[in-house]
Structure 1
Amino acid sequence: MPQVRLLRPDDVPAAQVLMADTWSNLLKRQTGMDISYPVRPAAWYVARLRHEPKGCLCVEEDGRIQGTAFCLSCGPVGWIGPMEVSPPMQGRGYGTMLLEALEVYLMSRGCKAVGLETMKDVSKNTDFYTGGGYAPEQDMLYLEKDWLEGHDGGRPADGRADLKEVRRLGSTIHPGFDPSKEFQMFEEMGTGRTLHGEGAAALLVLDPIPGSGKAYLRTVLTEGYHRLSEGVELVQRAEREALWAGARTIFTIVSSGSELLPILLRGGYKPKGVDVRMMKGSFTRKHECHLFSWSG
C-alpha cells in the first residue's frame, strides 16, 4: 500500500533520480526526443529539509519512493511545488495523496490561501489541480534576455539578505506575506544573492540549472508604485552581477499583471513560455510593483 511520509535526508539521492526521470519523460512526450534533464542539486533538498522539514513529503510503496512534493509556508499564504510522480505510477492517485497532505500541513501553519504554478499548455496538469479545487488566477510569463559578449559586469557588492526588510516588503504586498525563507535557502545553497535598494529588494539565483550558463531573477519586491524605479534599478544590477558571475543569459518568471512586465519587455526580455498560477483561497495584493514566482 502506498504511504505518504516525511522525506528524510537519506532519501535525497532517490528523489533526485525521480525528479530527473519525471522531467526527462515530460520532455520526450513534448518533443519526441530523448533529453536527459539536469539533476536538481542535493543542496536544494538539504535547504528545504532544513527550513520546512514537514513540507517535504514523499509517497512510498514497496520500499521505493514513487513521488515527492514540497511546499513553503509564507505567513497567511503557502505555495506548493515542485511535485513529481514517477511516470509509470502517474494516474494512480499518488499526486492527490501528496497534494492533500501538503494542504493539511499548510493549514496547520495558518495559511489561509494556497497557490502553485504549472504549465498552462499541459491540460493533464491544469485538470489535476482544477479537480483539487484550484482556480486559475493569472498567467506567469517566462522571459529571457541574452547578453552581449564582453559587456563589463563589474564586481558585485555583498549579497546577503536583510530578512527583516524582506519581510517588511512582503507585507506591503499582502499583510503578513513573508517570502524570506527563499532568500535564506538560496543564500545557504551558495547560489542566491540578495540586492537591496531604497524600499526594494531582489533575489538573484546564479546557475540554477548547473552548467546552463544562465541566471535566474527569482524575486523583486518593492513598497509600491513610488518605488518602481528602485525595482528597475535592481533588475539592472542583477543583470550586471549575473554577467560578472559568468552567465550569458538571464531569465525570470513574471505575472501578466506586474508593473515590471512592460519595462522588462522594453529592456530586451523576450517571452519564451507561459505558466499559470492557480489558487485555492484568496491572495489579494495591495500593489503589483513586484515579481515573484511560485514555480518549483
Structure 2
Amino acid sequence: MRVLSRFKGNNIEIRPMRETDIPESRRVGQEAWSDLVSRDIGRKIRYPIRPRKIVETYMWKEPKGCLVVYEDDHLVGSAFSHVWGKVGWVGPIEILPESQNRGVGRKLLDACEEYLRGRECQVIGVETMPNIPKNLHFYIMGGYVPRQLTLITEKPVRVSESRPIPRATRELEEKELDTLLPRIVDLSKQVNPLLDYSIEFRALFKKRLGQCMIIDHEGEVGGVALLHSYNRSGDTNFCSIKLVLVDGNLPNPWEAFVDLIFACENKALELGRKRIYSRFSGDNPKMYSVMTNCGFRLANSNIRVVKDGDYIEKTDFHISSWAG
C-alpha cells in the first residue's frame, strides 16, 4: 500500500480493492448516488445499493483496476476500471458526499487512468450524466472531451409482443464459449480496431450474469447479444441487453440485429421479467429508429467523454455502453 498524497492534514491512500472492502464500498456508493440524485430531483431518496455480484465481477475482470480510496483509515470512495482490448473506461467512480470537492475524486480518477495506461489502453473514457453540471465540470477540467450521447431506452415485456425466435437464433451453451471467442474478437474489431469484448462473454458465464444469444449464418456466428438477467438484490422485474454485435457483411444485418433483440425479449419473458433496458450510441439515428420500432422508448441519456485517443465506432449494428 502507498499513500499517494497528504491533503489538508489527512492521509489519502489509494490501493486495489480487497474482498473485505466490498461491503463498505457498496455503502459508500449508495450514499454517493443517493446524495447526487436527491440534489438533482429536489427531494431525498434512497438509491438502490449495487449488487455484490457486480462488484465481484468487476474485481474478477480487473483485480488491480478496482480501486478504493481511504482518508485517515476510512473508506471514502471507490472506482472501477474496465479494459476492452486497447479501450479503457472508468465507471462508476463514487466518493462520499462529505469527501467531495477536496481533490479526493481527482486523485482516484488519476489512479484509474494510470492503471489503464499500464494496461496499454490507447483510448480512455467515461460516461456520465449530462444533466449534472458538477459531473461534466469534473471530467472536462480533467482533460476529458465530450464525444457522444448514449441513449438509455426501456420497454415493457409483454406476452402479446413476443414472436417466434428465428431458427438461426439460439442461446449459446457455456461449453461453446471457447470456440466462439475468436469470432467475438473479429466482430469487436468491426466496431473499432482497438476493441475486444471477449472478457464480457467470459464474465457472463463465469459469474452467471445472464444469457448469450447468437444468430448463425452459413455455418458461422453472424451476431451475438448479451442479456444480463441476474437477480439484482431481490429485484427480478427487469433485465438489460448489455451488448449486441452483428456482422456488417451479412446480407441483411439489420434483420439479424432485430432478431437478436427479440430473442433477448423472449428470454426476458421466459424468465418472468417485466421490463428490458438497453443503451446505445445517440450518434446512430438508424439504430434509434430500429429500437423505437421494436417498442423501446427513450428514458434517459449519458454523455461519453474521452481523454486519451480518438474513438469512432465504424459499424451501425452494435450496442454497448461505457457505464458501470
* TM-score category of the 2 structures, normalised to the smaller one: over 0.9
Higher CA-based Rg: 2
Candidates 240, 258, 261, aligned match of 1:232 = 258
Per the alignment, residue 267 of structure 2 pairs with 241
Per the alignment, residue 67 of structure 1 pairs with 77
1:158, CA displacement in angstroms? 4.2
Q: In 2 relative to 1, CA 78–187 (structure 1 residues): closer, same or farther, beyond 3 Å?
A: same
CA contact (8 A) 1:159 1:195 kept: no
Q: C-alpha offsets along residues 250-274 of structure 1, whole Å, 9 cap, x if unaligned?
A: 0111111234221001121111111
Residue 194 in structure 1 maps to residue 212 in structure 2: yes
Per the alignment, residue 222 of structure 1 pairs with 246
Kindly report which structure 2 residues correspond to 1:102-117, keeping only aligned pairs within 5 A, or say none.
102-117=112-127
| Equivalent position SS for 1:43 | helix
Kindly report which structure 2 residues correspond to 1:116-265, keeping only aligned pairs within 5 A, or say none.
116-148=126-158, 157-158=171-172, 160=174, 161=177, 162-198=180-216, 199-207=222-230, 209-210=232-233, 211=235, 213-224=237-248, 226=250, 227-258=253-284, 259-265=286-292
1:164, CA displacement in angstroms? 2.4
What is the root-mean-square deviation of aligned Cα atoms in Å?
A: 2.0
Structure 1 length as normaliser, TM-score?
A: 0.93
Which shifted more, 4-13 or 161-170?
Answer: 161-170
1:4, CA displacement in angstroms? 1.1
CA contact (8 A) 1:208 1:216 kept: no
Q: Distance in 2 between matches of 1:224 and 1:288?
A: 8
Q: Distance in 1 between matches of 2:283 and 2:73?
A: 45
The one-letter amino acid paired with 2:198 is S
The number of residues matched between the two structures is 296
1:154, CA displacement in angstroms? 8.2
Identity of aligned residues (%): 32
Q: Distance in 2 between matches of 1:127 and 1:168?
A: 37
Q: C-alpha offsets along residues 1-28 of structure 1, whole Å, 9 cap, x if unaligned?
A: 1111111111001111111111111222
Per the alignment, residue 59 of structure 2 pairs with 49
CA contact (8 A) 2:162 2:262 kept: no
CA contact (8 A) 1:225 1:289 kept: no
| Equivalent position SS for 1:96 | helix
Q: In 2 relative to 1, CA 263–150 (structure 1 residues): closer, same or farther, beyond 3 Å?
A: closer
The one-letter amino acid paired with 1:180 is S
Q: In 2 relative to 1, CA 166–152 (structure 1 residues): closer, same or farther, beyond 3 Å?
A: same
Residue 289 in structure 1 maps to residue 312 in structure 2: no
